[in-house]
Amino acid sequence: MSRVRTEYGVVEGVESDGLHLFRNVPFAAAPFGVRRFRPPSAPEPWDGVRDGTRPGPAAPQPAGQGLFGTVYAPPSTGEDCLTVEVCTPDPGAAGLPVMVHIHGGAYVFGAGSAPGYRGQTFARHGIVHVGINYRLGIEGFLYLGDGADNLGLRDQIAALEWVHRNIAAFGGDPGQVTIFGQSGGAVSVFNHLAMPGSRGLFARAIAQSGHPAATVEPDEAMRTTRQIARSLRVPATAEGLRDVPIARTVAATESALARFGRKIVVGDARALLLSPFRAVHGTESLPVSCGQLAKTAGASEVPLMTGTVRNEAVEIVTMVSSSAWLAPLVRRGLGSAIGIDRALRDAYRNGPRRITDASALVEASWTDWAFRMPTLRLAAARTAPTWIYEFHWQADSRLPLLGASHGIDLCFVRDDVALVAAAGEDGRELLGAHQPHDLATAMHAAWVQFAKSGDPGWPRYKPRGRATMVFDTRSALVPDAAGAERRAWQNRELHGM
C-alpha cells in the first residue's frame, strides 16, 4: 500500500509492478442536494486515511453505452462522482510530467475510472497520469443561465485546479501538465483552450477526434432546456430541476439524445454533432469557442497535437445502411445537411480512397464535416505550435465500409490493444485477429514524447507543407494528407468555423 497526503487528507492507494494507483480521490464535493446545478465546491476534509484502492462512481448516466463492452464503461455511478484517480511511478519523486485525461462520451456517457483509461502504461514511462470524472447530460450540460452554465467543464477546471495544488505530492510537476482526450474529451480540450478559467492550468494539449467549435449559443441552449423541462413538467430553472429524482433526469437525458439524433433525417446539420449537450459560448465561462478564438489575437499559445481517425462516422452510417427503408432517408438528410454536391463527389471519387459507394460517400463527408476539416482549419489558423496526425489502420475483420472507426485509436494511444482485443466479441470485431503492436508502441511513444517535451517527433502543421503524420501499419509523414478533399471543402461553411 502507498499513502499520500493531499490538501483534504491522506489517501491510501495500491502498489503493483512498481506503480502506485490512487483511486476515488475527491477534488470537489458531491454535486447533488443543495449543490445540484451549481458550480463545483470544495470537498470536506477527512480525518484518518481514505481508501483509494477502489474506483469511485462516475456521474449518473444512461446504462448500456460502454464502448466495447466494459472496457470504457463506468464501473459504477453515483452522486459522489467528482473524483480523480492518479497513477504515478513514484510518489516520492519530483518534477515528473503529468497527463490529465478527460474521457469522451458525447457529454452523456463515460468515466475517467473505466478500465480502458487506466494510467499504468503512461506511468511506466515516467508520467503521472490523472483520470477525472465530471458531471454529464442534464446534470452537467443543461444551460440554466450564467453561473449555472457549462457545469461539466467547470468540474474539469476544478479537477485541473486540484492537480495544480496537489500533484507534487504524487511526484508530478504542476508546470508540466498535458490535458488530453478523445471525442467529447477532445471537445473539452478545445474548450479549455478558450476558457479563461483554464488558463495557466496546463502547458500542452492533445485532442483526438474532436470538433473545435462544437458549442451552441445561449438562445439555442435555452430552447433545449425548455424542451427538457417541459418533458419533466418542471420550470426551466435550477430551482425547478433540483428536486427531480436523478433517475428521471438520466431518462430525460437519454430521450433528449435520441430526439436530437432523429433530426438527421430532416437535414438538420446540427444533429451531425450527435449530442444536444454541448458547451455554451457567449457566457462568462466560455466567451467564444476555440475555433473562433484561434482567429484572434487572444488565441491560446499552448502547444497542441490533434488529429482524427479516417472513418469517424462509419459505425452510425453502417448501422443505418442495414435498414432498407431508413438508409435512403438518412442519406438524403445527410446529403442536404452536409451539402454534398458534384465537387465533393469528384474529390472523393478521384482522391486516394476512390469512393463511389453512396454510403461510403456519406460517411466520408460526415467525418470530414464534423471532425477532420474543422481540425485542419483550426491548425491552419493557429500561430501556436500545432501538430496534426491521422489514424488509418483498420482491422482485417472489418467489412470494407467500416474502416478505422471512431474510438479505435484509444487503445493504440495507451499501448493497450491486448485489453480491448480480449474484450469479447466487440473487441475482436474492432481489432481483428492480428493487432499491429508496433503501431501501438509508436503512437504511445509520440504521446509520451509530447507530454515530456512538447514535440511528438514530426514537423509542425503549417499552411505551407501541411505536414501530417499518418499512423498505419507503415506510418509515414505525408504532406497535405487531406489533399483534394481539403481543397473541395475550403470555401464551405462548417459549424462554428
In angstroms, what CA-CA distances link 124 with 21, 23, 131, 132, 245?
A: 12, 18, 16, 20, 43
Q: Where are the beta strands (DSSP E) in 96-139?
A: 96-102, 128-132
> What is the rounded distance in angstroms from the CA atom of residue 384 to the CA atom of residue 401?
36
Rounded to an integer, what distance in angstroms lies between the CA atom of residue 59 and that of residue 494? 32
Contact 187, 195 (CB under 8 A): no
What is the Rg, in whole angstroms, of the alpha carbon atoms belonging to the chain? 22
- Whether the CB-CB separation of 453 and 419 falls below 8 Å is answered with no
Q: What is the pLDDT of residue 286?
A: 96
Q: At what angle do helices 358-367 and 314-321 cross, to 10 degrees?
A: 150
Q: Per residue of the chain (497 residues), what is the pLDDT tens digit?
A: 899 999 999 999 999 999 999 999 999 999 999 999 999 999 999 999 999 999 999 999 998 765 666 888 898 999 999 999 999 999 999 999 999 999 999 999 999 999 999 899 999 999 999 999 999 999 999 999 878 899 999 999 999 999 999 999 999 999 999 999 999 999 999 999 999 999 999 999 999 999 999 999 999 999 999 999 999 999 999 999 999 999 999 999 999 988 887 776 555 667 677 789 999 999 999 999 998 888 887 789 999 999 999 989 887 776 665 555 555 656 666 666 677 888 888 999 988 888 888 788 888 988 999 999 999 999 999 999 999 999 999 887 555 456 788 889 999 999 998 888 777 666 667 787 788 899 999 999 999 999 999 999 999 999 999 999 999 999 999 999 999 899 999 888 888 77
Active-site annotation, residues: 183, 312, 406
Q: Cα separation of 415 and 142, whole Å?
A: 35
Which pLDDT does position 296 carry in this prediction?
A: 83
Q: What is the pLDDT of residue 265?
A: 59
Q: Coil, strand or helix: which one is 341?
A: coil
**Contact assessment for residue 83 and residue 24, using Cβ atoms and an 8 Å cutoff:** yes
Q: How far apart are CA 189 and CA 208, in angstroms?
A: 9
pLDDT recorded at residue 63: 87
Domains located in the chain, CATH noted: 2-216 (3.40.50.1820), 313-489 (3.40.50.1820)
- Residue 488: CA count within 13 A, CB half-sphere: 23
H or E element that contains 138: helix 137-141
Cα torsion angle, 177, 180, 184, 187, sign: positive
Q: Which of 460, 479, 457 is nearest to 383 (CA)?
A: 460
Number of residues in the chain: 497
Residue 277: CB partners within 8 Å, gap ≥ 6?
Answer: 106, 107, 108, 136, 137, 138, 140, 141, 142, 253, 256, 257
pLDDT at 329: 58
pLDDT in the model for residue 495? 80
The beta strands (E) that lie in 150-298 are given as: 172-182, 204-208, 215-216, 279-280
Cell 484517480 locates to: 85
Q: 278, 130, 311: which is closest to 212 by C-alpha? A: 278
Determine the straight-line distance between the first and last CA of the chain, rounded to whole angstroms.
Answer: 50
